[in-house]
Amino acid sequence: MNQLNPSTMTTQDNWWRGATLYQIYPRSFADTNGDGVGDLPGITAHLDHVASLGVDGIWLSPFFTSPMADYGYDVSDYCDVDPVFGTLDDFKVLMARAHELNLKVVIDQVYAHTSDEHPWFIESRATRDNPHADWYVWADAKPDGSPPSNWQSVFYGPAWTWDARRKQYFMHNFLPEQPQLNVHNEAVQAALLDAARFWLDLGVDGFRLDALNFAFHNQALTNNPRARHKNPSRPFDFQKHTHNMSQPELVPFVERLRTLMDSYGARFTVAEIGGDDPTREMQLITRGETRLNTAYNFDFLNDKSMSPREIAHVMAKWPDATWPSWAFSNHDSMRVVSRSAQGRDPQGFAKLMMALLLALRGNMFIYYGEELGLHHADVPFERLLDPEAIRNWPETLCRDGARTPMVWDGAAAHGGFGTAEPWLPVDARHLAQSVMAQEADPASMLHFTRTMMRLRQASPALRHGDFRLLKADANILAFTRTEGHETLLCVFNLGHMAGTFKAPESAWHSVLTLGGAAPDKARVPVLGAWIARK
């Protein structure tokens, strides 16, 4: 075990602060064994591409043993690799290669629930008096046979499923195949921390903690109050989620986890926090030096406008004493180009969004294919695999459209993803945006991403500095980033019409321009942006 005394840590242990991580969805990155599913060796084979972007590390979505009811977020063994992705030795090779390339490796941890095929749950559901009987959330039916509370699952229907073996209901905030762990149980907490220790001993650099505020429930099983939702699309939307999640017991647990992480030195934690009041909760569990490092925001993942005023409003919620993390696209959300371009040139908009993301204050997550400007793929109904999309078709977002294969070579079969028909279809429109095609084009989105990443990595102001808003109207967003003696002025036209911004009197030297904008021009065209240094 490679443990360190926290008192020996240096400032290098804050490598994560201001870092940019590249999210890889393992099923969709590269298939090396011809089964149509991406795998760990496929990731390893393409780490040079990731490193060429200039990012600090990778975040791997789940690759653990799983029956794949929710594509890996239903874990049946926390400490092994699912055979569809390879072996534990394949993961060790991947991590070693990443570290050779100076890439940190961050992996998912899923602490709120397991698969119903996990050995813990198989034993728990067998009887009411076995060693794992209290490891999940079980409750008796009401006298009329109805569920113990009115709680609804995120995906569809009640958060309770009847089990004839125990003659009780078990709770699940997501699919019935994802039974809720009883993290109030000290033995469950110890087992989860043991799983974390397993991966830390192997050398991972940090964890992204999936659906973390779903890990604790109100043990009184109090009914959730009604919510006034403007456009409900599922039963979950009709309630305020006061009691099935976001409980105060989460704070002591994250402090236990932070103590473990600190014992390994330079390790990183980012929590996924959603719900009714996510900012308050994110700041609560990242406050001070005894809790988590940062939290993964949904504000921009759900924002269709990406307007100056909305960006300014969100950033205002994160003052200098707090440290956020941002993403514009991920595996659960529509890709930003499709969500927010709204008729503007897709590639110009993709560049604008990349420049904005990497100019903001906080940690950044780039989703695979975002460096290519990929749009949300069209997946026909007969090829859908996302359980939420299938059950709620056609009303809810199809997450499969964000998970289609990476396009490496537009002239190769399946975009260079692999030799067999992929698990999800390649969108034919993506082929022209392949890595190989963009490598050959100096004006491509890929080359722009590298340029913007070099600027961020070379600038203390962009990586660590404060954020001061100067202007946010219908079109123009302008702000400064300052660290020490360096100040950068960042100006973006996020609107649909040309705007104006007159730089404060000073000698501003352009370090990046986009779309014909420049510091010496008051007019900022649509999709235009500039960043300048004093």
- pLDDT tens by residue, 473-483: 999 999 999 99
Q: Binning pLDDT at 50, 70 and 90, where does residue 12 land?
A: low
Phi, psi of 60 (to 5 degrees): -100, 120
Mean pLDDT (the chain, rounded): 95
Query: What residues contact 18, with CB distance under 8 A and at least 6 apart?
Result: 362, 363, 462, 463, 464
Return the domain boundaries, the chain.
6-116+182-454, 466-533
Cα–Cα distance, 401 to 425 (Å, whole number): 9
- Joined together, the tokens standing for residue 268 give 């990183």
Report in angstroms the alpha-carbon separations of 246 from 46, 147, 207, 332, 434: 38, 21, 20, 21, 41
Contacts 24+ apart (CB under 8 A), 309-312: 309/472, 309/473, 309/474, 311/356, 311/472, 311/477, 311/494, 312/469, 312/472, 312/477
The residue among 271, 131, 292, 275 whose CA lies nearest residue 210 is 271
- The topology under which CATH files domain 6-116+182-454 is TIM Barrel (3.20.20)
Sign of the alpha-carbon torsion through 105, 111, 112, 117: positive
Per annotation, catalytic residue among 70, 108, 177, 272:
272
**Which pLDDT belongs to residue 393?**
81
Per annotation, catalytic residue among 108, 210, 303, 370:
210
Taking the model in full, what pTM does it have? Answer: 0.96
Q: Binning pLDDT at 50, 70 and 90, where does residue 8 land?
A: very low
Share of the chain above pLDDT 90, in %: 91
Share of the chain above pLDDT 70, in %: 97
Mean pLDDT of the 135-145 span? 98
Identify whether 210 is a catalytic site residue. Answer: yes
Inform me whether the pLDDT recorded for 2 exceeds 60: no
Inform me whether the pLDDT recorded for 310 exceeds 60: yes
Cα–Cα distance, 104 to 270 (Å, whole number): 14
Highest CATH level, class, for 466-533: mainly beta
Express each pLDDT in 327-339 by its tens digit: 999 999 999 999 9
Q: What is the Cβ-side half-sphere exposure of residue 356, based on CA atoms within 13 angstroms?
A: 27
In degrees, rounded to 5, the angle at the alpha carbon of residue 93 between the alpha carbons of residues 88 and 99 is: 125
**Which pLDDT belongs to residue 203?**
98
Residue reference for tokens 């002025």: 489
Listing DSSP states for 242-306 in one string gives SSSS--TTHHHHHHHHHHHHHTTSS-EEEEE--SSSHHHHHHHHT-TTSS-SEEE--TTTS-SS-
* pLDDT-wise least confident of 102-111, 294-303, 390-399: 390-399
Residue 168 CB: number of other CB atoms within 10 A?
A: 17
Alpha helices, DSSP H, located in 366-441: 387-391, 435-439
